[in-house]
Amino acid sequence: MSLFKARILLYHKSAACQVFLQTFVKIRTIDTRAPPCYNIGMNTKRWLSQHTHDLTGVHVAVTGPTGGLGLALCRYLAGLHASLILLDRNAEKSAALQQQLLAQFPQLQLRRIPLDLADMASVRAACAELKTQPIDILIHNAGAYSIPRTRCDTGLDNVFQINCAAPYYLTRELLPLLRERGGHVVMVSSIAHNYAPTDPADPDFSTRRPARLVYGNAKRRLMFALQELFAAETKATLAVAHPGITLTNITAHYPKFVFAVIKNPMKWIFMSPQHACLSLLCGVFEKTGYHEWIGPRLFHIWGAPAHRKLGTCTPAESTAIAAQMDALYQAMKTPDA
């Protein structure tokens, strides 16, 4: 039996199969670039040599850099000589990452700025400090999935604010600076965006309980609001990228017994964060078009990054999302909002 067939058999027995079925059945995409690649074991070094280049002098701000995809992405960026700005709420983990990166890349230019996306005072403070820094690329990588639900000081559901409202606010506030430098925004999306259509009466899904719906709604709103925001943008660019399915803190949301059973099969079946984050890295170097994203080529789960057209949101819904997010941004600009 081939390695590919063995992985498929194990995959169909895994708890993550539901995620694939929901995604593969519903997401309708057209590959607009390279032909399909069925080789799961891609040559990472060759891909890097063909699709990346030296980033000396390029200043990259990354949210959620201390684990999973963010950690793998920062290592790639440091190896490409980018200057990094780590945006993270955990000062201890951020300092530890700084030491690790500097030990591996002694010439690395790196700064740390505290950022708690669930706290608008922290978001505003980080935004004010970022406005004093040169920023060429802003990467929205931080996210939260199955966490205790609370209301933020904005009145928004914390999962929605972390995954959508605060990143959108940061983008709008930093867009003038990005325009001056011909900058670029990378939004880390998810196949979960297709789990539920948006509800104008419940923008943050605060009345919903399933984590997949709340998380998916936040990702859906952010990705299509940014798509509309950058549709007519001429001085800054956007890339929407997703990693497929990989084992990170976000995917470790199953009950402990279930997770203990599926953890090792997931590691074997799906790409590692080091491979999955190549779609994010591709987004650093390439922009996406309107209603387009970058992700693993094969079933959105395996293989090299590929550009694909999205068929998961109508123009009418996308426009409505953008209008609602603009109104939310205007409200969040006021400290008492």
Which of these, 235, 201, 237, 194, lies nearest to 217 by C-alpha position?
194
* E strand or H helix that includes residue 125: helix 120-130
Q: pLDDT grade, residue 163 (50/70/90)? A: very high
**pTM of this structure:** 0.84
DSSP annotation of 193 reads G
Q: From CA 281, how far away is CA 1, in angstroms rounded?
A: 33
User: Could you give the CA distance from residue 114 to residue 117 in angstroms, rounded to a whole number?
Assistant: 10
Return the top range by mean pLDDT from 47-51, 188-192, 223-227: 223-227
Q: DSSP state, 15?
A: T
pLDDT averaged over every residue in the chain: 84
Q: Which residue has the tokens 């060759």?
A: 46
pLDDT at residue number 67: 86
Residue 262 pLDDT:
56
Task: Please write the tens of the pLDDT for every residue from 169-179.
Answer: 999 999 999 99
- The full set of domain ranges for the chain reads 3-332
- Average pLDDT for 134-162: 94
pLDDT at 337: 45
Comparing 2-6, 122-126, 258-262, which segment has the lowest mean pLDDT? 2-6
Does residue 72 carry a pLDDT above 80?
Answer: yes
Give the tens place of pLDDT for each residue, 293-323: 999 887 777 788 999 999 999 999 999 999 9
Is the Cβ–Cβ distance between 77 and 284 less than 8 Å?
Answer: yes
In whole angstroms, what is the distance from residue 245 CA to residue 251 CA?
8
Residue 268 confidence (pLDDT)? 58
> What average pLDDT does this structure show over 146-168?
95
Sequence-ordered list of residues with C-beta below 8 angstroms from that of 337, at least 6 positions apart, any chain: 120, 154, 331
What pLDDT sits at residue 247? 62
Going through the chain in order, the beta strands assigned E by DSSP cover 30-31, 59-63, 83-88, 110-114, 137-140, 184-188, 237-241, 292-298, 302-309
CB 238 within 8 A of CB 287: yes
Note the pLDDT of residue 250: 57
**Average pLDDT rounded to a whole number, residues 218-242:** 97
Number of H helices, E strands in the chain: 13, 9
Question: Who contacts 200 (Cβ-Cβ below 8 Å, separation ≥6)?
Answer: 320, 324
Q: What is the pLDDT of residue 229?
A: 98
Could you tell me how far CA 61 lies from the centroid of its own chain?
A: 13
Q: What is the CATH number of domain 3-332?
A: 3.40.50.720
5-19, 28-42, 131-145, 221-235, range with the lowest pLDDT: 28-42
Supply the Cα-derived Rg of the chain in whole angstroms.
19
By residue count, the chain amounts to: 337
**pLDDT, tens digit, for every residue of 241-275?**
999 876 666 555 555 555 555 556 655 566 777 88
Comparison of pLDDT for 22 and 135, the residue scoring more: 135
